Chain A
Amino acid sequence: MVSCVDVCKAFDGVVALNRVSVSFAPGQVCAVIGPNGAGKTTLLNVLTGFVRPDSGRCMLGSTEITGMTPNRIASQGLTRTFQDLRLVRRLSVLENVLLAFPHQDGEKLLRALLRVGLSAQDAALMTEAGEILSTVSLGESKQESAGDLSYGQQKLLTIAFCIASRANTLLLDEPVSGVDPVTAERVLQVLADLRTQGKTLVFVEHDISAVRQIADRVLVMSQGSVIADGLPQEVLGRPDILEAYL
């Protein structure tokens, strides 16, 4: 379970999170919605260590992760995507996915120096990376530069990173924003498959049809606070939410 308690964060005096306390249960698919500037991405940034909260605590299971570096949090099984994607644009699609696998031989300096050619682990990871890319419909693009993919394909690639990271909890920042309807269906299918594998998914999204399609919980934020939290059919039908956001 990933959670935070009484988290506050302000940027240059502008409050982004105001005593936010939430928890996401294992296997849950939770959509975080709300107007621009509500604090949705900041919540993801705080939970993943990219932004240190001014106060409050973040937990992953029984481990306190407040103030931990993003790579340490990722190694504990909590990973994420970004609105601005953050690919290594000059590397191939396959190479990008290979970077995401944890605990590779080449991460240790001595092992890296002693290596000659492809190790058995490298070969296995390349095969697995190819399979993951096929899952997200990028099997035929694996040798292309990541920067040459279309925006929708790049979004699919960032989800492939998350899968390769073997994290159990995935925080996704606008997975279908800017994506055409056909590719969006593909993204949502991949997310539904991850849910059946027992992954916890928390996703920020403005596309309400996507939210209705895959979320089993909706959290609404406004001006740094959580203003609604519940089942999609309940939350999305509330007149105050419709008025403020939709």
Chain B
Amino acid sequence: MIARERILSVAGLVVGYEKKPVLKGVNVEVGVGEIVAVVGHNGAGKSTLLKSIFGLLPAWSGEIVIKGVPRQPSRPAELLRLGVAYVPQGNRVFGDLTVGENLQVASSVLSDQAVAKEGFDRACDLFPILGQRLQQRASTLSGGEKQMLALAGALITRPRLLLLDEPSLGLGPKLVGQALETVREIRSSWQTSILIVEQKVRDVLRISDRAYVFRNGVISYSGPAGDLADDVKLKSVFL
């Protein structure tokens, strides 16, 4: 249970693919301004949780409440306008478009052009390499640069709630730390609440306020991220 105001409450969520349930009744909360980590094995249901919150996978049962309003079923476009952004796993960018065009597409959801321009500029400030490569086709970026572009696209919409699926995927050892520091910076300078799925468990726990450990579609731990710093405790809930 969290003390602060909640931006997201997921209660009793059951969801899966075809007839196979992946999440078997999970409860997840994110407070305003919090960074909340979701960790666990591949197949535990972490990415499924994010997809379901963002309306990409219909819930079989349970409730998803965003900013106090039940959102079931929810539509991604609606959620974007509400201030929810989702960065899926695996560098999803438009490869045939340039970096600049990718960012323009991301900002097209905003009706106010001044706000869109400001978001564009701030994203380029946060990731200067993108600002230098606005004319480069996105397919020719490295994996790490594509990851930055995907994140920048989400940030342009000035989200209140950011759903991040493995932002460190494909990044070199030095960049992993930097990427997660950027996540912390987004929270502090943009006041964004963040629900982050990550396989680099120790790194993500270092920047998170609270954590959930998923195991086979249920939650084996929920509580302060710092409490999992102890190896024995982490192994007992993770393995």
Contacts and interface: CB of A to CB of B under 8 A. Distances in A.
B172 A36 contact: yes
Interface string B45-62: 001000000000000000
A28 interface: no
A101 to B, nearest CB: 26
Contacts of A107: none
User: How many A residues are at the interface, by size bracket?
Assistant: 20 to 34
B18 A148 contact: yes
Given A14-B140, A145-B17, A151-B47, A36 B41 contact: no
A245 B173 contact: yes
Looking at A16, A148, A183, the one whose CB has the most chain B CB atoms below 10 A away is A148
B173 A246 contact: yes
Interface string B164-187: 001001111111100000000000
Nearest to A12: B136
Contact of A12 (B89, B91, B135): B135
Given A150-B43, A153-B43, A206-B172, A11 B144 contact: no
Interface residues of B, number: 33
Interface string A119-147: 00000000000000000000000001100
Nearest to A180: B41
The SS class assigned to the B binding surface is: loop
B76 interface: no
A227 interface: no
Interface string A181-207: 011000000000000000000000010
Contact of B169 (A37, A144, A178, A245): A178
Contacts of A152: 41-43
A70 interface: no
A88 interface: no
Interface string A37-51: 110010000000000
B25 interface: no
Given A145-B17, A148-B17, A14 B136 contact: yes
Contact of A177 (B47, B141, B169): B169
B145 A35 contact: no
B18 A246 contact: no
16 contacts: A11-B136, A11-B140, A12-B137, A16-B140, A35-B172, A37-B141, A84-B91, A145-B17, A177-B169, A178-B169, A179-B42, A179-B199, A180-B41, A180-B42, A208-B173, A245-B173
